[in-house]
Amino acid sequence: MKRILLFTMCLTAIALAVFGEDAADYQKWMKTIGATSGSLRKNLDAKDGDAASADAKKLQAVFDEVHMFWHMKNADDAMMFAMNARDAFRDVASQAAAGKVDDASTTLKKAMTACSGCHAAHREKATDGSWKIK
């Protein structure tokens, strides 16, 4: 009986540590997305296709991580939002690199729709004003 209790406690501790690490990574990704999206908008407004493409590629990579996070949580809708954002940022990168910054700006709006859909479904405001994952 003691072995079962000890085993259960160890599994619980591991699960909490992994979720805590995942949540910390997730927060880091969201901050990266916010900052990089702002940079992307500025670079598109400035018609700097190369810098905008680099930002969009960075966002594409981050959304690969976000997709895996939601995959591990079996949240199909969030996985779809992440895939849609990733694919849209891939398109933004291609369009910006080709000098089609107006098209890239339009595609960026599509990507941001995926972001807002996921935020509406999977985040809530805590009493201290911060945001947490639902």
* Residue at 11 is within a domain: no
Picking from 99, 91, 92, 82, the residue whose alpha carbon sits closest to that of residue 41 is: 92
pLDDT in tens, 112-131: 998 888 988 988 888 888 77
In a domain, 111, yes or no: yes
| pLDDT value at residue 3 | 59
Q: Spell out, as residue ranges, where the chain has pLDDT lower than 50.
A: 5-21
Q: What is the pLDDT of residue 23?
A: 79
How far apart are the C-alpha atoms of 54 and 61, rounded to whole Å? 11
CATH of residue 50? 1.20.120.10
CA-CA distance, 37 to 58, in Å (whole number)? Answer: 10
The first and second tokens of residue 82, run together, are 């992440």
CA torsion angle for 4, 8, 14, 19 (degrees, to 10)? 160
Report the distance separating Cα 36 and Cα 131, nearest Å.
19
Closest CA to 89 of 31, 33, 47, 27: 33
Q: Is residue 100 a part of any domain in this protein?
A: yes
Quick one: pLDDT at residue 10? 42
| Number of domains within the chain | 1
Is residue 8 in some structural domain?
Answer: no
pLDDT of residue 11: 42
pLDDT of 66 reads 95
Instruction: Give the domain extent around 54.
Output: 22-126+129-133
Tell me how far the alpha carbon of residue 102 is from its chain's centroid. Answer: 24
17 in any annotated domain:
no
pLDDT at 1: 55
| CA separation for the pair 33, 56 (Å, rounded) | 10
What's residue 13's pLDDT?
40
